[in-house]
Structure 1
Amino acid sequence: MSSSDQSKTCNAPKTEWPELVGRTIKEAKETIKKERPDLKIEVVTVGTSVPEDFNLKRVRIWVDTVAKIPTIG
């Protein structure tokens, strides 16, 4: 049983959102805020160095795709 299955059966607060993989940052932030308004959301680019501290009040959304063609001008 995954940790998300356990949290559903134990009525514990949700701790992960696998259903948000592939969604927009906006959708992810809105969903997490709706389900866990107590959390601080950080959007982080994959490969960015972040502190390895564990924080029960923080969730990181890792992003790694270019959404639009980079152009000069």
Structure 2
Amino acid sequence: MGRAAVRAAASTAAGDDEQKTSWPEVVGWVTLNADFKISSDRPDVSTAFYMIPTPLPTDYNPKRVIIVCDSRNVVVQTPVIG
């Protein structure tokens, strides 16, 4: 499953049984603040940081959230599970 498909399938929690799978609210945040928010929401996942234009992993990992940042360490894409 590609990143675009994962992003399209990702959704935020709507009920108590669903867990959050994307964090659009952290786009524009400093990476460490975004990491803290994601870790607060989902302590069961790890975060991985990638600076653009570094290629992103192509494999899907349900226990990983990828945070893509620019040279100023600001999040530039919605972090999603994968």
Flag whether TM exceeds 0.5 (same fold): yes
- Higher RCO, 1 or 2 (CA under 8 Å, sep at least 6)? 2
Rounded Cα–Cα distance in structure 1 between residues aligned with 2:72 and 2:11: 31
Match of 2:30 in 1: 24
Shift of 1:45: 0.5
Residue identity over aligned pairs, in percent, reads 34
Structure 2: gaps (5+ residues): 1-9, 74-82
Greater Rg by CA: 1
Match of 1:41 in 2: 47
Shift of 1:25: 0.9
Structure 1: gaps (5+ residues): 68-73
Rounded Cα–Cα distance in structure 1 between residues aligned with 2:11 and 2:32: 25
Rounded Cα–Cα distance in structure 1 between residues aligned with 2:41 and 2:16: 16
Cα-Cα RMSD: 1.9
How many residues matched? 64
Rounded Cα–Cα distance in structure 2 between residues aligned with 1:20 and 1:51: 21
